[in-house]
Amino acid sequence: AVYPQTEEQYQSLVGPLYVSLRGHYPLTFWFTQELSTDESILPAFGGNWYDGNKYHELHTHEWTKDNAWINTEWSDVTGLIGLCNQTLYLFKSMADGDQKNTSLAEIRTIRAYAYWEMMDNFGGVPLVTEELNASSKLDVPRNTAEEVRKQITADLTEAAAVLPVAWSSTSDLGRATKGAALAYLAKVYLWEKNWPGVITASEDIINSKAY
């Protein structure tokens, strides 16, 4: 009924989101983004690295939902979104305050990033912003890309207004900041060809001189 109250306790709830992101981003996302282009290739040497044709399928654009990396990409990111929604649910009963608002902004930034990655790889995807439970429908419909973009934009805009420009401790390196929220907001504006939005978000980051 009284947890969390301290900075450390709030971080103990938000921390698992970063753990989930840390293992996924430099491996799965990199493979799906780079091996499917002419920027990188992972060749097979003898019997090594062939691995069920999963790298070759990315290179030749012959993947299906059963490709190991496509499947992992989908599972990892939807899992991260679900974890964000579950954590947001835990915050519902907490008293309002600066610490709560900052933590909510962190969570929304991570969820918005996850949806940005989903959009980048799959286009329109199911948009889930609440925790799922035993009574939830499992056949969540696929939303349009425009609907997902609106949710990402709303989350990042709200988060950028709350997050600090920089965290005070070096131990907080890697946590979401105002600059991180604005950077992904600029990417969303690039999708929309909203050039004034791109310029405004980018200049806010540059002019802060914090990064």
Q: What is the DSSP string of 71-135?
A: HHHHHHHHHHHHHHHHHHHHTTTSPPSHHHHHHHHHHHHHHHHHHHHHHHHHSS-----S---TT
Q: What is the pLDDT of residues 139-155, one digit of tens each?
A: 788 999 999 999 999 99
Handedness of CA 106, 110, 111, 113 (dihedral sign): positive
Omega into 43 within 30° of 0, i.e. cis? no
Q: Are 182 and 211 in contact (CB under 8 A)?
A: no
**d(C-alpha 71, C-alpha 21), whole Å:** 16
Tokens of 25: 């981003």
pLDDT value of position 81:
94
In single-letter form, the type of residue at position 181 comes to A
Whole-number percent of the chain with pLDDT over 90: 65
pLDDT value of position 166:
93
Most confident of 2-6, 48-52, 118-122: 118-122
pLDDT band at 136 (very low <50, low <70, confident <90, very high): low
Residue with the larger pLDDT of the pair 5 and 110: 110
- pTM passes above 0.75: yes
pLDDT band at 173 (very low <50, low <70, confident <90, very high): confident
DSSP label at residue 1: -
End-to-end CA gap in the chain: 39
Q: What is the pLDDT of residues 175-210, one digit of tens each?
A: 999 999 999 999 999 988 999 999 999 999 999 999
Q: Is the pLDDT confidence value at 100 over 60?
A: yes
Could you tell me which residues come within 8 angstroms of residue 142 by beta carbon, excluding any fewer than 6 positions away? 124, 125, 126
Q: What is the pLDDT of residues 87-97, one digit of tens each?
A: 998 888 787 88
pLDDT value of position 112:
97
- What's the farthest any 2 CA atoms get from each other in the chain? 60
The whole-chain average pLDDT of the chain stands at 90
Q: Is the pLDDT confidence value at 134 over 60?
A: no
